[in-house]
Structure 1
């Protein structure tokens, strides 16, 4: 049995998957979930996996796909100008944005790579009623179909990549 834990293994696997199409340059990643705290925790692990390869990485949690994400974060990050709290990214860097509603049409095109965190209640447990905004988001935006990767994160200590069949 490996001494490496399931979370680290998955994070490294996702980092390698991201790198298949984004070898260098300033890369922007979204970690989207209905639970913004879960998205931020998962993004923290993903950030550590990226940092392991020696790449500068900047984690930024946002509130509900904030409209200023493009102007305040992504555009200046990509241009090598001060962004967010005044950081300036080197030529090879990754910006990891975490939060809710990050696959909404107005921000979807900003990401080079995106992760959708799915969280389901235990088998047999009732599914909680979602607020209308979340139901609308799942129904109209379909983040599972929009994301580069789907991760089942009901047990954050043992997340699993899900391979959706959208045929």
Structure 2
């Protein structure tokens, strides 16, 4: 039996997957969920996995949909200029952006890699009714189809990568 932490194992696996397509440079990763706190917590753990490889990493949480994220965060980060709360990224760095609605068409092209967090109630527990904005986001944007990776995160101490079969 392994004493390895399942959160650390998954986070390292996701980091390695991100690195398959983005080996160096300034990389931007989105962690999207319907629950902002869940996205922030997961992004914080992902940030640790990136820091463990010796890469400079920054984490910024944004408002729903991040309508102005390109101007005040992404463009300056990629240019090596001051961004967010006055950070400046070296030439090899990762910016982890956590929030809600980050797979909307107007922002999804900003991410080199994106993670969608699924959270389901325990079996036998009724699913709570979602607000209309969340229902519409799931129905029209389909973050499970847009994300680089889907993670089932109902139990944050045991997240699991989900492999969707769209065939």
Give TM-score, length-normalised by structure 2. 0.99
Poorly superposed stretches of 4+, deviation over 6 Å: none
Deviation at 1:37, TM superposition (A): 0.2
**Structure 2 counterpart of 1:136:** 136
Match of 1:12 in 2: 12
Say yes or no: does 1:96 pair with 2:96: yes
**Pairing 1:56-135 to 2, within 5 Å after superposition:** 56-135=56-135
| SS of equivalent to 2:60 | strand
Q: Secondary structure at the match of 1:38?
A: helix
Q: Could you tell me the TM-score, scaled by structure 1's length?
A: 0.99
- How many corresponding residue pairs? 167
Offset at 1:166?
1.1
Report the RMSD for the aligned CA atoms in angstroms.
0.5
Superposed CA offset, 1:32-90 (max 9, x none) = 00000000000000000000000000000111122111000000000000001111100
Structure 1: any 5+ residue segments left out of the alignment?
none
Q: Map residues 48-63 of structure 1 onto 2, 5 A cutoff.
A: 48-63=48-63
Question: Which is worse superposed, 4-13 or 61-70?
Answer: 61-70
SS in 2 for 1:101: coil
For the residues of structure 2 that align with 1:49 and 1:124, how far apart are their CA atoms? Answer: 34
* Structure 1 counterpart SS, 2:28: strand
List gaps (5 residues or longer) in structure 2.
none
Q: State the match for 1:27 in structure 2.
A: 27
